[in-house]
Amino acid sequence: MRKLFGVLLAVCLLSCVGLAQVKSTVLWKCDKPSDQHSISVGDKPGHAYAVDQVTCTPVSGDLDGAKRKSGTGTEFLELHGDKFTGHGEFIETMENGDKNFYTYQVKGTVKDGLLQTGSDTWSLSEGAGKLKGAKATGSCKGANADGAVTWDCSGDYTMAKK
């Protein structure tokens, strides 16, 4: 039994060689959507589908020493009065020009068409440069700041073997 445990431990350790675990946090400041469209469903007041696109700037946080330059989120939302759920894709551009692609699920509340509070879960769908072949998941919390929204995000990255 000890031999089997030792073999399993050795296999696990060898398979993990070269993998780096990285934690990352970032605070994004996102402007009002630059492009936004909404269509009322017509079944109940306040029930609508919407698509929008938002541009974000990192306020703080790097990714394993690499600086973020900008981000663009494109999302599809279903609104029920002052609550919404949806999904989207976020493209993160690094200062060196690399682009990382994320998908996310989002939910929250709105007032007068502006986000009040929100949360999402995200995962890396494709990375470039340092993130080529990496896997990552995380979450964000959003809040309104005078029409602009701040998203406080954190995640765990497993870098690919090199």
Q: How distant, in Å, are the alpha carbons of 45, 60, 80, 122, 142 from that of 86?
A: 19, 26, 11, 12, 14
- Type of residue found at 19: L
What pLDDT is recorded for position 162? 65
Chain centre to alpha carbon of residue 107: 13
User: Which residues are CB-neighbours of 125 under 8 A, at least 6 positions away?
Assistant: 89, 101, 102, 103
* Tokens at 158, concatenated: 């497993």
pLDDT (tens, 9 = 90+) of the chain, 162 residues, equals 444 344 333 334 334 445 589 899 999 999 888 888 999 999 999 999 999 999 999 999 888 888 999 999 999 999 999 999 999 999 999 999 999 999 999 999 988 878 899 999 999 999 999 899 999 999 999 998 676 799 999 999 999 876
Query: Which residue in the block uniquely carries the two structure tokens 């990285």?
Result: 22
Whether 77 and 101 have beta carbons less than 8 Å apart is answered as no
Q: What φ, ψ does residue 3 adopt, rounded to 5°?
A: -60, -45
Q: How far apart are CA 122 and CA 14, in angstroms?
A: 29
What pLDDT is recorded for position 63? 87
What pLDDT is recorded for position 19? 59
Number of Cβ atoms within 10 Å of the Cβ of 105: 15
Query: Which residue in the block uniquely carries the two structure tokens 């690399």?
Result: 98
User: Which residues are CB-neighbours of 156 under 8 A, at least 6 positions away?
Assistant: 21, 22, 23, 136, 137, 138
Q: How far apart are CA 140 and CA 130, in angstroms?
A: 22
What pLDDT is recorded for position 73? 96
Q: Record the pTM.
A: 0.84
